[in-house]
Amino acid sequence: MSTRRPVGVIGAGSFGSAIANLLAENQDVLLYERNKESADLIRRTRKIRNFELSDRIIVADSLAHIASDCFLLFPVVPSAFFKSMIIDFAPYLRPDHIMIHATKGLHCEFDIDKADAKNIRLKEIKTMSELILQETGIVRVGCLAGPNLALEIMERQPAATVIASRFDEVIAEGQAALRSERFQVYGNKDILGIELSGVLKNYVAIASGALNGLGYGENARALLITRGMAEMIYIGKALGADKRAFLGIAGIGDLIATCTSPKSRNYTVGYRIAKGEKLDDILRDIGEVAEGVRTLKIGKLIVDHLGASAPLLQTISKVLFEDLSMDRAIKLLMRYPVNDDAEYLDI
């Protein structure tokens, strides 16, 4: 069905526009940008951040327009704004829609800057798929995650992703819509594990950028990536995910990409922190959301609530929010005792 009707993309940021261009290789696309001035600029120039949009992409007038004309929907909206978007979208959505989100973040039903870890309820921390199910009548939901740096996709470089869903038809529709000679699409039934893989790698990427900013080399980065993956598995397991999701394209694949590329916003945040810049200045200059900063805040609430050990997350959180120096952070992490290598495979 997705190849006979236009596909809807909600969100015209870097990744949203990259997804729209990928989809446009197989079918027409309706792209929604909520800021009217930005939408008008895209219509006039046919560009987003100096990258040309496919002729098969039409900038939609409204969410109602997309819901009416599209069967398959791809929301690509920062996690902080996802709930407000889905509430606005909900009146126009039908149970027969399929929605595959590409947002690598979590939503909290409380103020994360004022929350006390002891008193939070984990059920008030939701993935984007849980928000969709909560706020709409859509049943067939999926997520997209993988090593998908937007700039490289827009440059038409080869890449791959994972579509996860409990429903076979969601995976099949997503694959048919996205797969091309330059873009491979894998399937996975563990939607929670794939979502958490995409979320948790963000703070590891911040740490990796910081290592590079301090002048450390590949030995240190390899150590960070492997122990970072172990920590992601421990946190994911505590939240109910299967460890296997973290060992594939959406887990270790995405982790490697974001931990090694200056094109990653989260990596850039860590790099510039290590160079002595202030977090607020960095985020203002980047101009787009670096999900890892929000992930750190939510992740720390989760591990503190559970009483779990997540030394990398907790230490990087202190660097960003408690003025711990990066040099001191490295020394603390290197002293952390680990007895067995790859012990996370046994959990």
What's the confidence (pLDDT) of residue 2?
Answer: 47
HEC assignment per residue over the chain: CCCCCCEEEECCCHHHHHHHHHHCCCCCEEEECCCHHHHHHHHHHCEECCEECCCCEEECCCHHHHHHHCCEEEECCCHHHHHHHHHHHHHHCCCCCEEEECCCCCEECCCCCCCCCCCCCHHHEECHHHHHHHHCCCCEEEEEECCCCHHHHHCCCCEEEEEECCCHHHHHHHHHHHCECCEEEEEECCHHHHHHHHHHHHHHHHHHHHHHHCCCCHHHHHHHHHHHHHHHHHHHHHCCCCHHHHHCHHHHHHHHHHHHCCCCHHHHHHHHHHCCCCHHHHHHHHCCCCHHHHHHHHHHHHHHHHCCCCHHHHHHHHHHHCCCCHHHHHHHHHCCCCCCCCHHHHC
What's the confidence (pLDDT) of residue 49?
Answer: 81
Per-residue pLDDT of the chain (347 residues; tens, 9 = 90+): 444 789 999 999 999 999 999 999 999 999 999 999 999 999 999 998 888 999 999 999 999 999 999 999 999 999 999 999 999 999 999 999 999 999 999 999 999 999 999 999 999 999 999 999 999 999 999 999 999 999 999 999 999 999 999 999 999 999 999 999 999 999 999 999 999 999 999 999 999 999 999 999 999 999 999 999 999 999 999 899 999 999 999 999 999 999 999 999 999 999 999 999 998 899 888 876 678 889 999 999 999 999 888 999 999 999 999 988 888 888 888 877 666 676 667 76
**Catalytic residue positions?**
201
What's the confidence (pLDDT) of residue 48?
Answer: 86
Give the pairing of strands 125-126 and 140-145: unpaired
What's the confidence (pLDDT) of residue 181?
Answer: 94
What's the confidence (pLDDT) of residue 340?
Answer: 67
Full set of structural domains in the chain with CATH: 7-189 (3.40.50.720), 193-346 (1.10.1040.10)
What's the confidence (pLDDT) of residue 34?
Answer: 93
